[in-house]
Amino acid sequence: MKDKFFTFIIILLSCLISVLAAELFLRFFLPQPLYSFEKGLFMSSPDYGYALTPNVEKYHRQPDYNYTIKSNSKGFRGREPGINADTRILVLGDSYGMGQGVSEGKSICDLAHQHFKGSVKSLDIFNTSISGYAGINEIGVLKRQLKDYKPHIVILLFFWNDLGVTESLRVQNGYLVVNYGNSQTAPLREWLNNNSHFYALLKRSWYAFKSPKAKTADPDPAIPQSDIDVALDYIIRMKGICDQQNTVFVTILLPVDGVYAGSPAMQACRETMIKELKKNAVLYRDWTLIVPQEGKKQYIFGHDQHWNELGNAYFSRYLIQVIDDVLK
């Protein structure tokens, strides 16, 4: 019995030493791109589910980029909102609106604000977009900021991974975690995401191994009507809340993966969404109609498809156009 126990200990120690050696080798000779938000960037919020920790500066790392996120006192990215501006515009959205992957001042909303600064009397754009947000978070932001910020215009940047989302991500031990798997191990996974090059290599290898099997499934499954209904319900509720305050509400349907119209199933989903938006008198813009027709990949990061600086600059022109149209 003792021999088996000692054998187990020796095997365990050998595995630990091997993992440590692999970690040190990768760290010093073949560093891996880490995929993580730095611990402490997010905090739980009774109004929104979660938000950025106010007044912090943290790193966000992915294979495509490494940049700093600075939060304001309200728990959102960027400068303080101009609550005394003559025209106040509230932007709701997720990682695309937040400017995931680009540095401060380079997001779509930052660029639009810079355009109007000085050209329009006292116009402010308050960007409340945060990575992982969906309708369940954004409606909470809307209700709170209609009281605090009192916007004249509300713009929702809708992305398609909001379809069917009824539960918010959560913050646990300083990390933003998804709502599946063992909740006790979630902080450990995020710690590994932040710190382990060996773990990053294992993850990429696993995804590469899984991807051929995924292709055996239906490559373009129809999107359930129930998922579409969830997204539409949040949008229509937001419109109703804005109507009660005489606030203009605009929904912008973003392109799939940053600059693509999407598969036939996704295009059918979009057509259904647009039909219902019209039926409920929701003002909208369909940005799949204005995606760049050539060199699309130069506007997005190769790994996760978010807009790079060029992409944010490209679409900021159309955000400016939406604001101009509403102001007229």
* CA 272 – CA 231 distance, rounded (Å): 12
Where the chain has pLDDT below 70, the residues are: 1-3, 33-35, 120, 179-187, 203-204, 206-219
> How many CB atoms lie under 10 A from the CB of residue 291?
17
* CA 105 – CA 315 distance, rounded (Å): 15
Torsion of CA 280, 281, 285, 289, to 10 degrees: 70
pLDDT tens for 117-171 read 877 678 999 999 999 999 999 999 999 999 999 999 999 999 999 999 999 999 9
User: What residues contact 115, with CB distance under 8 A and at least 6 apart?
Assistant: 316, 320
pLDDT for 248: 98
For the chain, domains (ranges, CATH) are 37-169+221-327 (3.40.50.1110)
The answer to whether 306 and 300 have CB atoms below 8 angstroms apart is yes
pLDDT for 2: 62
Name the DSSP letter for residue 166.
-
pTM for this predicted structure: 0.86
pLDDT for 129: 98
pLDDT for 214: 43
